[in-house]
């Protein structure tokens, strides 16, 4: 396991609340944003509709704007369900094998929500992603496929983040009880510092928030996260 990096000397950690633990305080000088499963099939009216996901798109947009402006990395983690169900979770495999057309590779519903795209004409390269590749989407912005709930399970995500010397992860996206929660816990057990944009993640509930706080995650609004990132970025640019 690669140990957590110390806070960046040029910027230092920005604490978003009164917690002063130096091991969990976010360091936005080495931060990346992770979006989870925010694809068209899960939006309102989609065949795999997840209530509340369409409603948080504008706040995810706030975060994307902030991270793009700061020049910080962004990773869009997605699901793709092959029609034969071979790579589908057991709880959904039967439905897909019986003809449920959801998150199909190359299909319109598997594409990222339009509000997330850095370029309106971008589409996911299903073959590359299913083969374990990392698809560039823009400067510092990529897509990665995950075969199960967790973003780190059998994916290139950790290697990608370590190569970029990332210590802090901001999370947003679709359906906290399943993929975001699993991914956040996976990040924590790998010693990443974790920030969750509570109003930019669908399905988050009060007990879940308490449990995240108990593992050292910081819960903030999308606006607070964006402003903290902007403050650190401005400070670092001024120092240069």
Say whether pTM exceeds 0.75: yes
- Cα(196)–Cα(31) distance, integer angstroms: 12
Residue 17 has pLDDT above 60, yes or no: no
Q: Are 81 and 39 in contact (CB under 8 A)?
A: no
N-terminal to C-terminal alpha carbon distance within the chain: 32
Residue 9 has pLDDT above 60, yes or no: no
Q: Are 219 and 75 in contact (CB under 8 A)?
A: no
pLDDT, one tens digit per residue, over 82-139 is: 999 999 999 999 999 999 999 999 999 999 999 999 999 999 999 999 999 999 999 9
Residue 169 has pLDDT above 80, yes or no: yes
Q: Are 52 and 202 in contact (CB under 8 A)?
A: yes
User: Could you tell me where the DSSP H helices lie in the chain?
Assistant: 57-70, 90-97, 126-130, 157-163, 179-189, 206-214, 222-239
Residues 6+ apart with CB under 8 A from 123: 111
- Cα(33)–Cα(55) distance, integer angstroms: 19
H/E stretch holding 173:
strand 168-173
pLDDT, one tens digit per residue, over 200-232 is: 999 999 999 999 999 999 999 999 999 999 999
Q: What is the CATH number of domain 28-233?
A: 3.40.50.850
């Amino acid at each position: 396991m690669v140990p957590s990096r110390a806070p960046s000397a040029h910027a230092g950690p920005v604490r978003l609340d009164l917690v002063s633990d130096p091991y969990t305080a976010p360091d936005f000088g080495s931060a990346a944003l992770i979006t989870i499963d925010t694809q068209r099939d899960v939006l309102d009216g989609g065949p795999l509709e997840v209530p509340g996901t369409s409603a948080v798109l504008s706040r995810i947009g706030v975060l994307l704007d902030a991270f793009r402006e700061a020049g910080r990395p962004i990773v869009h983690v997605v699901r793709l369900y092959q029609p034969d169900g071979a790579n589908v979770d057991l709880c959904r495999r039967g439905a897909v094998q019986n003809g449920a057309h959801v998150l199909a590779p190359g299909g319109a519903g598997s594409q990222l929500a339009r509000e997330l795209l850095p370029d309106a004409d971008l589409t996911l390269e299903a073959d590359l992603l299913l083969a374990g590749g990392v698809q560039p989407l823009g400067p510092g912005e990529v897509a990665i496929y995950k075969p199960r709930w967790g973003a780190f399970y059998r994916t290139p995500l950790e290697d990608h983040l370590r190569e970029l010397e990332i210590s802090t992860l901001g999370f947003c996206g679709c359906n906290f009880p399943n993929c975001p929660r699993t991914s956040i816990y996976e990040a924590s057990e790998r010693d990443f510092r974790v920030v969750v944009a509570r109003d930019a993640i669908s399905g988050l509930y009060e007990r879940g928030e308490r449990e995240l706080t108990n593992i050292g995650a910081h819960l903030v609004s999308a606006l607070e996260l964006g402003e903290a990132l902007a403050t650190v970025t401005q400070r670092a640019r001024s120092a240069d």
